[in-house]
Amino acid sequence: EVALLESVSREELRKVKGKIAAVNLRLNKEKFEKIVKAEPLALVFPSRTPLAPTTYRSVMAEWTEKENIPIVSISHDDLLSVIKGRKRLRIITEVERFTAKSRNVIGEVRGEMEDEEILVGAHYDTVRNVLGAHDNAAGVAVVLELARVFAKEKPARTIKFATFGCEELGLRGSFHFAENEENIKNLKFYLNLDVHGILVGTQAATVFGPEELKALVQLTAKELGVAVDISTEVSRSGGSDHMSLAFYGVPAVMLSRVGGAAYLMHTDLEDLRWCGPEAFAPVGKLCQTMLTRLANAGEFPFEKEIPSKTAEALEKRFREAGIKKKKKMEKSETV
């Protein structure tokens, strides 16, 4: 029998004992442990996107190390048919645990100021059975084009270009990079590109850093005629690699494309039909202009600091995921 779980209240959790729990809520480590403690037979994660055949729902691998409970994802429509119809479901799972290796791939255009660096990055992984056109092949494409453009320049500061692995598994690539002090000691700013190329959508920016950084994004966008919706809030859901760098004290901006087909991310409907060059031009222009100004400024225009409110919110998000900050770590393996 299937029971739909919409919260982790006592009343809701009583419904799932001895049943298959269809988990229709955002999870963190504490919520996951409460659900498992309620003794469901299995967990089913329905797609958040109706009409999409499949979707990806993330459960951190560390959360399940001590648990032996079947976990599967199904489409929104399949769950709907179960709830409306027989309300019974049979699950057979075969799970293999294994350790795999990922890589962060990093290149650079060297500048004269060796003690001040700028990083531009995007995650190159997608999720199982999903092409990942806008999340995040498009973001990687922007990074590679910026690298091509700046390779012909001679910036005063070094600009590094990174493609991070395992973002979809919990920001693991960028977190591994950021927790190594050697990687970030000279890093003044990180520009993150995640979810791009969507023709019908709007441009958004998330800023973690001083007010001067927010002003830089605002003024540059206005000057170029690029409409950008700017936020300084730490999202309670989702996440991207700018969070890892900001967590370790590096001011960061994430640029992304929202609305329209963005809701199809992590489904097998996420392909190139929704993308086009007209959606890349504004973000490319904005990135190139901001990076040129930062790389060649006489004095770097803002301090390397994260506002206390932002730092506390990031600390809470990572704590809820069961991730703790490490002060020192062996040198990251890069290619």
Ordered by start, the domain boundaries in the chain are 2-84, 105-320
Residue 255's CB is within 10 A of a number of other CB atoms, namely 27
Contact in structure between 19 and 2 (CB atoms under 8 Å): yes
Q: Which residue blocks in 59-160 are alpha helix, DSSP H?
A: 76-84, 138-150
Q: Which of 157, 152, 167 is nearest to 122 (CA)?
A: 167
Peptide bond into 183 cis (omega under 30): no
Q: What is the mean pLDDT of residues 138-158?
A: 97
Between 63-72, 180-189, 215-224, 286-295, the lowest mean confidence (pLDDT) is in 63-72
**DSSP state, 275?**
B
Domain 105-320 part of CATH 3.40.50.2300: no
What would the pLDDT profile of 79-122 be if each residue is shown by its tens digit? 888 888 767 788 888 878 888 999 999 999 999 998 999 999 99
pLDDT in the model for residue 105: 98
Block residue for tokens 């199904």 = 74
CATH code for the structural domain at 2-84? 3.50.30.30
For the chain, state the CA radius of gyration: 21
- Encode pLDDT of 12-23 as tens digits: 999 999 999 999
Where on the phi/psi map is residue 237: left (φ > 0), alpha (ψ -120 to 50), or beta? beta
Give 45's strand partners: 73
Residue 328: the pLDDT is 53
Model confidence band, residue 268 (pLDDT cutoffs 50, 70, 90): confident
What φ, ψ does residue 50 adopt, rounded to 5°? -55, 145
Q: Using 50, 70 and 90 to split pLDDT, how confident is the model at 291?
A: very high
C-beta atoms surrounding 335 within 10 Å: 8
Taking the CA atoms of residue 177, residue 305, residue 139 and residue 56 in that order, the dihedral angle to the nearest 10 degrees is 70
pLDDT over 80 at 53, yes or no: no
Same fold, 2-84 and 105-320: no
Question: What is the DSSP-derived secondary structure letter of residue 109?
Answer: E
